[in-house]
Amino acid sequence: MTSEQVIAELIVPGRAGSLRLIRALLREAAMAHGADPDWTHDLVLAVDEACQNVIRHGYHGKMVSGDIHVQVSSDSAGLVIRVSDDAAGVGPEGPTPLPLDPSRPGGLGLHLMRSLTNECQWETPRAGRRNTLRLRKVFKPTGPEATDSGTRSDAENSSSGENRK
């Protein structure tokens, strides 16, 4: 098991206006690790969707307010992002998966979170929080044999789902 080192943390109000700041932090963290623009875009989008899910379905949808805590860590092969919040718990299994219907809005956020990262799971919440989602994205290999392994294929992501209620 590779050890993780925390490189940045951000606690922001759980509202849409905070997403820009979260994206800026992630871009800086990815650039500091030499990630390319495509890899960085995908990580930023996955985490943005996770935070958006908290805002839309955890806080705003329940008419409550709270913080979002974003922790960025690095390990030997990639970045690990933990998104914690105080909204009603979703449990370790996460939201209920539903098939993605490309012609209708909804369900896309979770699909993006899962398809743009290598690991996506809810874990035991960090102290003082009700939910913690862990996302991990592996850096692309470099050199002549490099392939786009920083993102899981559709075949590895047959389940997609509905946003948290």
- Site of interaction with other proteins (CB under 8 A): 16-17, 19-20, 23, 38, 41-42, 44-45, 48-49, 52, 55-56, 100, 102-106, 108-109, 111-112, 115-116
Q: Which is nearer to other proteins, 76 or 104 (CB)?
A: 104
Rounded Cα gap, residues 148 and 4, in angstroms: 23
Q: How far is the CB of 81 from other proteins (least distance, A)?
A: 16
Q: How far is the CB of 103 from other proteins (least distance, A)?
A: 6
Residues 136 and 73 sit within 8 Å (Cβ to Cβ) = no
Residues 105 and 98 sit within 8 Å (Cβ to Cβ) = no
Rounded Cα gap, residues 98 and 116, in angstroms: 18
Q: Which is nearer to other proteins, 25 or 112 (CB)?
A: 112
Q: How far is the CB of 64 from other proteins (least distance, A)?
A: 17
Hey, what are 34's tokens? 């030499």
Rounded Cα gap, residues 126 and 70, in angstroms: 11
Q: How far is the CB of 5 from other proteins (least distance, A)?
A: 28
